[in-house]
Amino acid sequence: MQQPAAYGFVGAGAITAAIVEGLNADVAGPPAIYLSPRGRSVGRELASRFPNVHVCDSNQNVLSNATSIVLAVRPRVSRAVVEKLSFRPEHVLISAMAGVRLERLQDWAAPAGHVVRVIPLPQAARGQSLTVMYPDNAVARELFARVGGILVPSDESTLEAFSAVTATFAAHLDYLTTIASWLADHGVDSGAATAYTTHIFGQLGQSLLQRTDSLAALTDDHMTPGGINQQLMTELRRDGVPDMVRRALDRILARLRGEPA
């Protein structure tokens, strides 16, 4: 298949900035990139750093310059944005938006030839996004392979379950914040408490990335029977923390699928 000459992005915010950064990292011949005009500071900053990045004067001009179009606006404005655009059959619309179903996107973007949903991660900036994609599409695959790996679930409903899991980042970081602030409450300078907490969990993250075994086995590796890790885990389980996480994920999934909570 011939490589697409250019990528367009409608919505130039945080996730677009991460993908564009990744597309430009260590690539001898990065693709031409066309950005929509809104989100002026992000677009201007990217265009000033990378000669292959251009800010268009309208969303429609992004579609005039590229046939592979990443849609990265907030879901609430998605319909208004997409319906204003004139797509052609050669366009591939790659939606990064959470909770907007393929059927609706296909309807709004007709007669675009292909519509794909993706869940890029901010780590795209470092070429480390494991991007979930459905359905599989060669153009989207080529784009996201440049900024990490690709995972294709069996159906759209499963993609939404992956999407729900990406809602856990802030809560996870908040859990680490609780640990660091508890340490500071016990007499440790707050900078040192943060540094220590980020160090130990950064190292734990490395263990996760290098794991060869199940998560349950890794958990066992990090505790001694009767020891303090086992005690804390058992207390949190007894207090219902895992069940609360499952129920909160169920509510996120219902929201993403447009179901009543």
Ligand X SMILES: NC(=O)c1ccc[n+]([C@@H]2O[C@H](COP(=O)([O-])OP(=O)(O)OC[C@H]3O[C@@H](n4cnc5c(N)ncnc54)[C@H](OP(=O)(O)O)[C@@H]3O)[C@@H](O)[C@H]2O)c1
C-alpha 50: how far from chain center: 22
Q: Which one of 4, 13, 113, 127 is in contact with ligand X (CB under 6 A)?
A: 13
* Closest approach of ligand X to the CB of residue 98, in Å: 4
36 in contact with ligand X (CB under 6 A): yes
Question: 119: part of which helix (H) or strand (E)?
Answer: strand 114-119
Could you tell me the smallest distance in angstroms from the CB atom of residue 49 to ligand X? 17
Nearer to ligand X, 38 or 126 (CB): 38
Per CB under 6 A, does 31 bind ligand X? no
Residues 130-156: b if buried by 16+ CB within 10 A, e if exposed: ebbbbeebebbbbbbebbbebeebeee
| Binding range to ligand X, per CB under 6 A, among 27-35, 117-125, 231-239, 247-255 | 117-125
Q: Which is nearer to ligand X, 36 or 52 (CB)?
A: 36
The least distance separating ligand X from the CB of residue 191, rounded to whole angstroms, comes to: 27
Count of chain residues binding ligand X (CB under 6 A): 24
| Residue (144 or 193) nearer to ligand X, CB | 144
Question: Site for ligand X (CB under 6 A): which residue of 8, 11, 30, 148?
Answer: 11
- Eight-state DSSP code of residue 71: E
* Token duo for residue 228: 């303090």
Residue 77 near ligand X by CB under 6 A: yes
* Residue with Cβ nearer ligand X (52 or 129): 129
CA-CA distance, 157 to 202, in Å (whole number)? 32
φ, ψ dihedrals at 68, nearest 5°: -100, 110
* Contact predicate 42/19, CB 8 Å: no
Name which of 71 and 193 has its Cβ closer to ligand X. Answer: 71
Among 4, 38, 44, 188, binds ligand X (CB under 6 A): 38
217 touches ligand X by CB under 6 A = no
- Quick one: CA torsion of 103, 105, 111, 114, rounded to 10 degrees? -80
For ligand X, give the closer residue by CB, 14 or 171.
14
Strand, coil or helix: 7: strand
Among 20, 35, 115, 119, binds ligand X (CB under 6 A): 119
Residue 73 binds ligand X, judged by CB under 6 A: yes
Stretch that binds ligand X, among 27-35, 91-99, 174-182, 238-246 (CB under 6 A): 91-99
Burial class (CB within 10 angstroms; exposed 0-12, middle 13-18, buried 19+) of 3: exposed
Considering only CA atoms, which of 15, 46, 52 is closest in space to residue 31? Answer: 52
Q: For the sheet containing 32-35, what is the strand order?
A: 53-55, 32-35, 6-10, 68-71, 92-95, 114-119, 129-134, 148-151
Which residues of this protein are in contact with ligand X, per CB under 6 A?
10-16, 36, 38-39, 42, 59, 72-75, 77, 81, 96-98, 119-120, 122
